[in-house]
Amino acid sequence: MDDGDRFESSLRKASMREVADLARVAISSVSRVLSEHPDVSPEMRARVLAAVRRLNYEPDFLAQSLRRGATLSVGYLVSDISNPLHATIACGAESVFRAAGYSMTLMNSEDDPSLDVKHIRFFVRRRVDGLLLSLASDTSLETVDALSRISVPIVLVDRAVPTLDSRVSHVNSDHRTGVRAAVEHLLALGHRRIALISGDPDVLPVRERIAALKEAVVAAGLQDETLVLRGPLTTQHGESATETVLNLQPRPTAIIAGGNQLLAGCLRSLQRHRIRIPEDLSLVTCDEIPLSELYSPPIASVTRDTVELGRVSAELLLRRINDEGPPESRILPTVFLPRPSCGSPPLG
């Protein structure tokens, strides 16, 4: 490699114009070669490709996107990517997008519905080809309004906006079935005073979990002695709600942590008070957190394949982007895994 080559191939972004000049062909011919147009002579092809190599040319995606009207990029809106639950969804989605030549841009809405709206606008201005949304709130009017005003394909991930049903795809987990199984398990063990440490009901999974708790009690023909403690889906709320539960008279005999972050806070509080599980209190979590199955004792959980959730969401979005049919809804299973954190309620 001589010095000329080394100079040419380094650091500067060459334009198609320069490639055309070097190859002594028209710029449109370069374009044809690179987009594999059938009608190009082998000689020209070779000349162009040589120039491309020599200049280390890479087509400008921006210019291509502007011209073609597609960016091959999608936006993923999530409340908090540092939550392992969302991170695995993102991972599943990204692998599907990547395989299809799409890139995924990420924005955290930090559980703030007004950021939901801001970021959706942002993505639209950036002309993403589609949007994967795990909204901070699927009940906020501003968000629903913003969504109804835009035309990009949308997939809601574990969220529901009934007024948009005909325009957006949905991928949800069947939280209700999983939580019902968990509650039935607790009821069968003899628990009656069951506390659900819950998020606020402005996202679908929270609403479903609350409904499932009530449903299971009603279905069992029992009087409702359950308790729902609402608050943000944070470890802080998990911790303080657990404190509340522990101070109640009579004290609930089982806690369902309605989210993985809530569980972390809950465990912190239980440890501080040296509550024995399951002798003093039974515990179930909704969504795992790393090590929850290796905890002492292993913690029963309502769980699901979140990587798959991400993959399916991405697939539905690509289908919409490529105009392969109308919006669809998918419901993926959840499963209740009984583990030693559930036992009989303490006597008395």
Partner DNA sequence: TTGAAAGCGCTAACAC
Partner DNA sequence: GTGTTAGCGCTTTCAA
| Range in contact with DNA (rule: CB under 7 A) among 65-73, 92-100, 141-149, 336-344 | 65-73
Residue owning tokens 């650091």: 11
Pairing of strands 227-229, 254-257: unpaired
Return the one option of DNA, a copy of itself, none that residue 53 interacts with (CB less than 5 to 8 A, by type).
none
Return the one option of DNA, a copy of itself, none that residue 27 interacts with (CB less than 5 to 8 A, by type).
DNA
Burial status of residue 318 (CB atoms within 10 A of its CB: 0-12, 13-18, 19 or more): buried
Return the one option of a copy of itself, DNA, none that residue 12 interacts with (CB less than 5 to 8 A, by type).
a copy of itself
Q: Would you count residue 4 as binding a copy of itself (CB under 8 A)? A: no
Q: Would you count residue 94 as binding a copy of itself (CB under 8 A)? A: yes
- CA 176 centroid distance within chain: 19
Which phi and psi angles does 76 have, rounded to 5°?
Answer: -120, 115
Q: How far apart are CA 230 and CA 63, in angstroms?
A: 49
Give 65 or 236: the residue with its C-beta nearer to a copy of itself.
65
| Range in contact with DNA (rule: CB under 7 A) among 24-32, 79-87, 104-112, 188-196 | 24-32
Q: Two tokens at 67?
A: 């011209």
Size of interface with a copy of itself, in residues (CB under 8 A): 56
Range 253-312, binding a copy of itself (CB under 8 A): 264, 267-268, 271, 289-292, 294-296, 307
Q: Would you count residue 15 as binding a copy of itself (CB under 8 A)? A: no
Q: Two tokens at 65?
A: 């996107």
Q: How far apart are CA 93 and CA 317, in angstroms?
A: 10
Return the one option of DNA, a copy of itself, none that residue 183 interacts with (CB less than 5 to 8 A, by type).
none
* Site map (CB under 7 A) of DNA, residues 163-202, x = contact: ----------------------------------------
Among 105, 97, 138, which Cα is nearest to 124's?
A: 105
Give 31 or 177: the residue with its C-beta nearer to DNA.
31
Pairing of strands 130-133, 73-78: parallel
Among 161, 77, 74, 80, which Cα is nearest to 120's?
A: 77
Q: How far apart are CA 173 and CA 177, in angstroms?
A: 9
Give the count of alpha carbons within 13 A of 106, CB side only.
15
Residues that bind DNA (CB under 7 A): 15-17, 24-29, 31-32, 34-35, 39-41, 43-44, 59-60, 63-64, 66-69
Enumerate binding residues for a copy of itself (CB under 8 A): 9-13, 56, 58-63, 65-66, 71, 73, 80-84, 87-88, 90-91, 94-95, 98, 103-108, 121-122, 124-127, 148-151, 264, 267-268, 271, 289-292, 294-296, 307
